[in-house]
A = this chain, B = another copy of it.
Amino acid sequence: MGKIKAAIIGATGYVGVELLRLLLNHPGVETAAVSSVSFEGKKLSEVYPGFYNIFDRVLCGKDEAIAAGEIIFASLPHGICEPLAKKCLAAGKKFIDFGADFRLVNEEDYKKWYGGEFAEKALHNEAVYGLPELFAEKIKAARLVANPGCYPTSVILGLAPAIGRLGDFPPVIDSKSGVTGAGRGLAQNLHYAECNEAFAPYKIAAHRHLPEIEQELSFLAGREVRVSFTPHLLPINRGIISTIYFTLEKIAGLDEIHALYKDFYKDKTFVRVLEKGETASLKNVRFSNFCDISLHYDAHVNRFIIVSAIDNMVKGAAGQAVQNMNLMFNLPEIEGLGAVPPVF
């Protein structure tokens, strides 16, 4: 079998360029085309000079990218991927969307949180939520994958094993993300002098990843699950930590729940359930596709605390997309994602 021809639409955004890195390092992939609206006609290495002599390809337009690839990755603002996906599928290609357009199942949710409508309902019915640890079989068969949001990835993996046993108390999810999650677009709060030595929550109980989290947790639980969700902006480049507080319906000790998690993820390379006593930390997952999960029990309030750590650019975006691609093309899930990451 030849190499997979992959094309990236939106290759100069932060997720796009991280995906490009992973694809170039992937032994089974040929990067067929990179496309950009803002920089079409320029070399990618003019936008990111670190690619000089590594990848000096000229950025093309969308149509050229679609024509060149067997699989098309789109990292674009939400609201514009329906026609692209339709076109790709009609042409016999596979499509992975980094945006939110195919994540929410319920059109009402999409209207409320993103302000648009579903023009192509069939596509939405077909789209698979691309969290491989939970939905690998569906992903293998999919033509259209909605790559999960970064916060939802950390939260859903953190809660999935226990979701059927949660008590009434809606979990509290306190998440902290590095700045690459906010993307390449300039903003005053991301201006170095203002982001440096600063820290704050934002969009409290109002972040667009909230309905995505609740949709997937509810699906897994088989009942409606609501959560408190507060994202915070960390003055670091990469990584998300979600600290999650929850109770169980019936009392259980740390040993039991830890064993439950260990078992749930026993065949999942990219989820590391840490030993009891260890604490998940951003620095141990940077540049990797791992989701590290540590479990803690606070007896005096009878609550469990889960710490879930990912690299928002890898497991939270580009790495997860490669993992999805591997599944869609019957490659080993780890292919191209197994490089040992730097410690510092």
A residues in contact (CB < 8 Å) with B: 14, 17-18, 20-21, 24-25, 48-55, 169-170, 172, 174, 176, 178-180, 184, 186-188, 190-202, 204-205, 226-228, 230, 232, 234-239, 241, 243, 245, 272, 274, 278-288, 292, 296-298, 300-301, 303, 305, 307, 309, 313, 339-344
Contact = CB atoms under 8 A, between A and B. Distances in A.
A316 to B, nearest CB: 13
**Residue of A55, A278, A342 with highest tally of chain B CB at under 10 A:** A342
Contacts of A313: 342, 344
B199 A239 contact: yes
B237 A340 contact: no
A309 B272 CA distance: 33
A186 B14 CA distance: 18
A278 B187 CA distance: 18
A101 to B, nearest CB: 23
A283 to B, nearest CB: 4
Contacts of A286: 50, 197
A200 B14 contact: no
A237 B196 contact: yes
Given A18-B344, A50-B341, A228-B298, 17 more contacts: A25-B339, A50-B283, A174-B174, A180-B193, A184-B193, A186-B187, A192-B195, A192-B196, A192-B235, A192-B237, A197-B237, A198-B281, A200-B307, A201-B243, A204-B298, A205-B300, A228-B301
